[in-house]
Amino acid sequence: MKGKSKLFTIGLVAAWYSSNIGVLLLNKYLLSNYGFKYPIFLTMCHMTACSLLSYIAIAWMKMVPMQTIRSRVQFFKISALSLVFCVSVVFGNISLRFLPVSFNQAVGATTPFFTAVFAYLMTMKREAWLTYVTLIPVVTGVIIASGGEPSFHLFGFIMCVAATGARALKSVLQGILLSSEGEKLNSMNLLLYMAPIAVVFLLPATLIMEENVVGITIALARDDMKIILYLLFNSALAYFVNLTNFLVTKHTSALTLQVYYILTQVFTCYTGKKMAGSLESWMHHRVNTLCV
């Protein structure tokens, strides 16, 4: 049983790695290379897809039993998680407009540090001293590497740091909601309730800060229908990222998830640099293949 459990966890981590890298590169392509400069609307598309696909998976396909929200306090915690999640994704997407993927991920490598701090402040949970020691060279290395970044942009850097802190806080909050005996929700039900609340937060922000984005998207689609395919595929992939994110947190811990995230960032940095010159042609090739 232990062997099967380890294989299952490895499979979850691998699925999370691949989907996380894929959605990050596609976000970068849409927001920077393609010129679709609407990060809040893009995040709302992600959350809308998560709402619909979660409901289909639970209510129609019966993948897991549907759970109900038990109290106002639990609803408040889920709403807080949704708000923090929106902040992390929106700020992260905004930073991608100003920073290269490699630098964005280098800054994001400090997430385990923030996670350890928030975990201690909110749950008084202490990790082994060796865990904290291993975080020191990671943070130090990121600071040194960021110092000579030629593409440094102050606003993008601030957004990236804010997204990193919010991502760490989200991991701790979702770990509490997934493990608390009094308010325990399985990962798929948590996503089912969290995603619609996130849409409620994002809709007014989209209407106010990204005026007429729907009309602009329709106009873009008339010139290039591939934008619809990009958004649909990106949104579906975002659902898979969030689902595997919750599952990995449940089967490991918030801090372990963020340590895994560093490895994803290293691979993404390498992949992003290798694909920087050919990302647009690669995306067109993939979409043409999907159309066939």
Spatial separation of the C-alpha atoms in residues 178 and 83, rounded to whole Å: 17
In the chain, the N- to C-terminal Cα span, in Å, equals 43
CA-closest candidate to residue 245, choices 197, 194, 187: 187
Residue 15 lies in a domain: no
Residue 10 lies in a domain: no
Spatial separation of the C-alpha atoms in residues 74 and 72, rounded to whole Å: 5
The domain in which residue 269 lies consists of: 35-291
Q: Is 138 left (phi over 0), alpha (psi -120 to 50) or beta?
A: alpha
Residues present in the chain in total: 292
Per-position pLDDT tens, the chain of length 292 = 555 667 777 777 778 778 888 888 888 888 877 778 888 899 899 999 999 999 998 989 887 888 888 888 888 888 988 888 888 888 888 887 787 777 777 777 777 777 777 777 777 666 666 666 666 666 666 666 555 556 677 788 888 888 888 888 887 887 776 666 666 777 788 889 989 999 999 998 898 888 888 888 988 888 888 889 999 999 999 898 877 777 776 666 554 555 555 555 554 444 444 444 444 443 333 333 332 2
Residue 49 lies in a domain: yes
Using alpha carbons, list the distances in angstroms from residue 168 to 12, 163, 211, 212. Answer: 20, 9, 30, 33
Q: How far is CA 35 from the centre of its chain?
A: 21
Residue 12 lies in a domain: no
Using alpha carbons, list the distances in angstroms from residue 182 to 177, 178, 179. Answer: 9, 10, 9
Q: pTM of the prediction? A: 0.68
Class of residue 125 by CB neighbours under 10 A (exposed 0-12, middle 13-18, buried 19+)? middle
Supply the pLDDT for residue 210.
86
Residue 8 lies in a domain: no
Contact 157, 44 (CB under 8 A): no
Residue 286 lies in a domain: yes
Residue 4 lies in a domain: no
Please count the structural domains in the chain. 1
